[in-house]
Chain A
Amino acid sequence: DAKTTQPPSMDCAEGRAANLPCNHSTISGNEYVYWYRQIHSQGPQYIIHGLKNNETNEMASLIITEDRKSSTLILPHATLRDTAVYYCIGILLGNQFYFGTGTSLTVIP
């Protein structure tokens, strides 16, 4: 299994960009990198996913290094509602998501 490593917690000032790193050094060539977030008392919410190229959607941008060993999720203008636990998932085996403990992001007013 490709193991992902994330910092346990991060702070970000409201209105600034939040950059959340993830290491997935054992990811294989055909495995996507997915990001989810979980706001307190809610189910995980899909954010974005990518394979090799950088991706952007209405929620965030995903930057994947050329060697695919790490990625960064970017929330361009963090708001208080972005306070959540962010999970980087580096393996899809038969589409089974294995979650780690994630990064707890706190957006500070």
Chain B
Amino acid sequence: EAGVAQSPRYKIIEKRQSVAFWCNPISGHATLYWYQQILGQGPKLLIQFQNNGVVDDSQLPKDRFSAERLKGVDSTLKIQPAKLEDSAVYLCASSRWWEQRPGNTIYFGEGSWLTVV
């Protein structure tokens, strides 16, 4: 079974520029997550999708971050304009179901490393 795919793996941009990250979840997984991980900290949930609908985006800085999952499969996370403090790893993850039940596990991709200079 293929894992969660993310691209690009690494990105360096100047502040005030824009960047987009792409994620393809595990086949058949209805729930997709975007996490932000700043160096030395645990991952922080930014947004959660159930199919193509947003379940929770309370931690997403909506003035500069946006995310979509148009057909309920792939997802894109965009930052515009980027700030220095956005330097982090952006992790995409997916799970088969939204609710907690036995066997429901979240699987993570390798992450997209963003450096804003």
- Which positions in A face B, CB cutoff 8 Å? 30-32, 34, 42-46, 49, 87, 92, 94-102
Contacts of A99 in B (CB 8 A): 42-44
Q: State whether A96 touches B42 (Cβ < 8 A).
A: no
Q: Given the interface contacts A43-B111, A44-B91, does A97 sit within 8 Å of B45 by beta carbon?
A: yes
Q: State whether A94 touches B99 (Cβ < 8 A).
A: yes
Q: How far is the CB of A43 from chain B (nearest CB, A)?
A: 4
What are 27 A-to-B residue pairs whose CB atoms are below 8 Å?
A42-B110, A43-B93, A43-B109, A43-B110, A43-B111, A44-B43, A44-B108, A46-B106, A46-B107, A87-B42, A92-B100, A94-B55, A94-B98, A94-B100, A95-B95, A95-B98, A95-B100, A96-B33, A96-B48, A96-B56, A97-B43, A97-B45, A97-B106, A99-B42, A101-B41, A101-B42, A102-B42
**Considering the chains assembled together, what is the distance between the CA atoms of A44 and B35 in angstroms?**
11
**Considering the chains assembled together, what is the distance between the CA atoms of A101 and B48 in angstroms?**
21
**Considering the chains assembled together, what is the distance between the CA atoms of A108 and B31 in angstroms?**
38
Q: State whether A100 touches B42 (Cβ < 8 A).
A: yes
Check if B104 is an interface residue, CB within 8 A of chain A.
yes
Closest to A46 in B: B105
**Considering the chains assembled together, what is the distance between the CA atoms of A98 and B59 in angstroms?**
12
Contacts of B91 in A (CB 8 A): 43-44
Interface of B, secondary structure class, is loop
Interface size on B, residues (CB 8 A): 27
**Considering the chains assembled together, what is the distance between the CA atoms of A42 and B91 in angstroms?**
10
Q: How far is the CB of B60 from chain A (nearest CB, A)?
A: 13
**Considering the chains assembled together, what is the distance between the CA atoms of A34 and B108 in angstroms?**
14
**Considering the chains assembled together, what is the distance between the CA atoms of A87 and B100 in angstroms?**
18
Q: State whether B108 touches A94 (Cβ < 8 A).
A: no
**Considering the chains assembled together, what is the distance between the CA atoms of A43 and B34 in angstroms?**
12
Contacts of A102 in B (CB 8 A): 42
Closest to A92 in B: B100
Q: How far is the CB of B97 from chain A (nearest CB, A)?
A: 7
B31, B33, B42, B95: most-surrounded residue (chain A CB, <10 A) = B42
**B84-100 CB contacts (< 8 Å) to partner A:** 91, 93, 95, 97-100
